[in-house]
Structure 1
Amino acid sequence: MKESLAFGTSVLQSQPFSVLLGAKLVVFAEGHAEIQIPINDQLKQQHGFVHGGVISYAADNALTFAGGSVLGAGVVTSEFKINYLRPALGDCLIARAQVIHAGKNQAVCRCDLFCTDSEGERLCATSQGTITRLGSPSAENTQV
């Protein structure tokens, strides 16, 4: 599992936008992924909430890592939806994704997003997406 997390971390760190946001992959195991983003003022919208685009990014990337954990490297998000449940406030945004069903070339995944503060975690959004393998199943791709 440590090797998988190290590989996943290297992939995440190769994404300039992920680095810009300060995203960190903390779980990357078969069927599961968790990404954390520290919340700062640059990630907020005019009302002081975490911007919906940041929440959407976290969901999309966590879904893709979860799907990639069962499909292998070389996957992309082919679709996803998100429901914003409450304003995202706090110190850290957490995106926890899991595979619901996986076939040979695609996986359907779910991601719940939480904000944390001194009082604990609060669910702020939920999403579902389809992750699709690039190329043929035998293709040797090195990107998640």
Structure 2
Amino acid sequence: MDILEFGREILKSQPFSQLLGAELIAFEPGRAELRVALADTLKQQHGFAHGGVLAYLADNAMTYAGGSVLGNVLTQEIKVNYVRPAMGEALVARAEVLSHGKRQAVCRCDVYAVTEEGEKLCAAAQGTILAVE
């Protein structure tokens, strides 16, 4: 089984990810990309994607990226900056490992809204991913 298929199997075992309809579209050492179709049920009262959906995407994409270099992991901390309301047909999160040791990885992630005009940056995040026994 290759790393992308392995990652997709992990995603299938996450009930919350399944609830949101998340898809792992890229996964390689130090990098991960997740996508969620922007259904009406994921929007807030003004019609934008709920901030929790953007935070979920950043968090999960960073744990995939960190896990690709550390193994079994959990998020230790995360910071999300929302830079624009997210509207469109889907959201895509692209995460990468900036630095890692044996037990921790510092990762960053950009979350984009996918629109007819292209991708627009909606959130930028950074987090620390921790290896667990």
Paired position in structure 1 for 2:121: 123
TM-score, structure 2 length as denominator? 0.98
Secondary structure of the residue aligned to 2:64 is: helix
User: C-alpha distance in 2, partners of 1:107/1:97?
Assistant: 12
Deviation of 1:130 (Å)? 0.3
Paired position in structure 2 for 1:8: 7
Paired position in structure 1 for 2:98: 100
Secondary structure of the residue aligned to 1:88 is: coil
TM-score, structure 1 length as denominator? 0.91
Paired position in structure 1 for 2:83: 85
CA shift digits 1:47-102 (9 cap, x unpaired):
00000011100000000000001112x10000010000000000010000000001
User: C-alpha distance in 2, partners of 1:99/1:21?
Assistant: 24
**Which one-letter code corresponds to 2:80 in the other structure?**
I
Deviation of 1:117 (Å)? 1.1
Identity of aligned residues (%): 58
CA shift digits 1:82-138 (9 cap, x unpaired):
000000000010000000001011100000000011100000000000000002xxx
**Which one-letter code corresponds to 1:24 in the other structure?**
E
Backbone CA RMSD of aligned residues = 0.7
**Which one-letter code corresponds to 2:128 in the other structure?**
T
Secondary structure of the residue aligned to 1:50 is: coil
Larger radius of gyration: 1
Where structure 1 has 5 or more consecutive residues not aligned to the other structure, the ranges are: 136-144
User: C-alpha distance in 1, partners of 2:39/2:21?
Assistant: 10
Superposed structure 1 runs of 4+ greater than 3 Å apart: none
Paired position in structure 2 for 1:54: 53
Bigger shift: residues 121-130 or 2-11: 2-11
User: C-alpha distance in 1, partners of 2:29/2:127?
Assistant: 17
Paired position in structure 1 for 2:38: 39
User: C-alpha distance in 2, partners of 1:92/1:3?
Assistant: 26
Where structure 2 has 5 or more consecutive residues not aligned to the other structure, the ranges are: none
Q: How many residues align?
A: 133
